[in-house]
Structure formats: C-alpha cells, structure tokens
Structure 1
C-alpha cells in the first residue's frame, strides 16, 4: 500500500511541495535584493480546494437518476508567479522586510504541516497495532 493513497497524507505531501517551492522563490527574491530591474515574485496562495484537488478528482457522485447532477470539478494551477508592487528607483521590487515576514510565515506553516504528518503517522501505527 502506497501512503499517497491515503487522502490526508497525499494532501500533506502536496502542501509540503508547495511550501518548498515558495521557500525557493522567496530565497531567490532575497538573493536578488540589490539586482537592478529584478522583480520580486511569489506563488499564488494555495487554496484548500486546490490542496484537495487530486483526491476530489478520484471521488465521483453516485448518479441514481438521469436528472441528478454529475458534480464535476475543475482544477486550478497554484504554481503561477505573481509580480510585486513596490519598485525602487533601480527597478528592483524586493522589499526585504516583506520577504522576511513571508519566509517566517512559510516556516511556521511548514512546522505545522510536519506536526500534522507526525500525528497522522502515529495514528496509522496505532491502527496497525504498532505502538510507539
């Protein structure tokens, strides 16, 4: 059995991947804080619907009558970069204070999601009869 077959663990994995990508983008922004004409970027926020997208695609409604709705979902791409809004005279749009706040926010989210992962793994061990 693959752990990615468990919906909550699959969602946790997707969230960790998003946080990893965001941390890379933010590090790139900070590294280019003094580069002329560099435009800061960030990932679009990940919505719960997007986070559960893979699991919801596998779920289908049971249609017992022709007049029932099918309940189709359309996914969105959460990996698109968006431009910054504050630009220095050199053309650089990196605001170090804002980037540091984003890095700290990403770190807090990473710690929370890894804590959730540990709890889920503990529950699986209990369910399998293997105590800590």
Structure 2
C-alpha cells in the first residue's frame, strides 16, 4: 500500500475535487443570475460521505459478481460528486431561481471548506514526510 492510498487521504482528495467542482457550479449559477428560465445547480458530496461514515447502506456498496469475491463494505469507497439541478423553484418572473446572496454565501462557505481540506492534506503530508525523513 502506498503512502498516499489511505482512505483518509482519498477522502480528502475527494473533498478537494468536490469543492473545486462546487466552486465551478456556483460560479455558473452567479453568471446566469439574470438568464431567463435558468435553474441553479448544486453539488452533493458531503452527504454521501456522511452516509458512508454512519454505516448506512447506500449506492456506495460494492457489487459482487462471484461468490469467491471478497465481501467488503462501502467504507473504503470515496463517493463521486453529483451535480443536481433545482427545477422546482422560481425566484423571479422569468423563472430563474438563482438568489445571488445565497450563492455568494455558499461560495464563501465552499472556500472555507476547500481551505480546511488543503490544510488537513498538508498536515498529513507533513506527518508522512517526518516519518520518512526521521526528523
């Protein structure tokens, strides 16, 4: 097993990827704030990760095609990001549902989340470097 293949490291990488994708989706929402009939999108990642951590069975479980395969739970799989579009609401007369204040608040929250993921990853890499170099 490689140093960077641990489950926690893979989850941090998944979180960073999700935060990057979320920032792109939020920027797209803001860019289309005045576009008629535009519906906002959002990225789901953390909810899947929470389901995984709580031990709930979900779509994250492994598919076993042969009885000789090892059975394993979903706790080693890092979920992929899912982009969803809210088609049910409307904020303006032009059927657009983007609230610029909400999008900006979500963007700030996402930036904090991204920074914390990067900080945690740097901490793990620093600990690994200390172990390898022996300082």
TM-score, structure 2 normalization: 0.72
1:20 match: 20
2:35 corresponds to = 35
Q: Measure, in 2, the Cα distance between the counterparts of 1:129 and 1:80.
A: 41
Cα distance change, pair 21–99 in 1 and its aligned pair in 2 (3 A): same
Aligned to 1:81: 84
1:129 to 1:72, Cα distance in 2 relative to 1, 3 A: closer
- Report 1:26-105 matches (<5 A): 26-47=26-47, 48-49=49-50, 72-73=73-74, 78-83=81-86, 85-105=89-109
Deviations 1:78-123 (A, max 9, x none): 4131406342101111100000000000000011110101110110
Gaps of 5+ in 2: 54-59, 63-70
Equivalents in 1 of 2:122, 2:52: separation in Å? 19
**Unpaired segments of 5 or more residues in structure 1?**
59-69
Which protein is bigger by CA-based radius of gyration? Answer: 1
Provide, for residues 47-88 of structure 1, a one-character-per-residue CA deviation record: whole Å limited to 9, x for no partner. Answer: 334677xxx979xxxxxxxxxxx6644976641314063421
Q: CA RMSD in A?
A: 3.1
The 5 A counterparts of 1:1-16 are: 2-16=2-16
Runs of 4+ residues deviating >6 angstroms: none
Aligned match of 1:108 in 108, 112, 122?
112
Cα distance in 2 for partners of 1:27, 1:8 equals 28
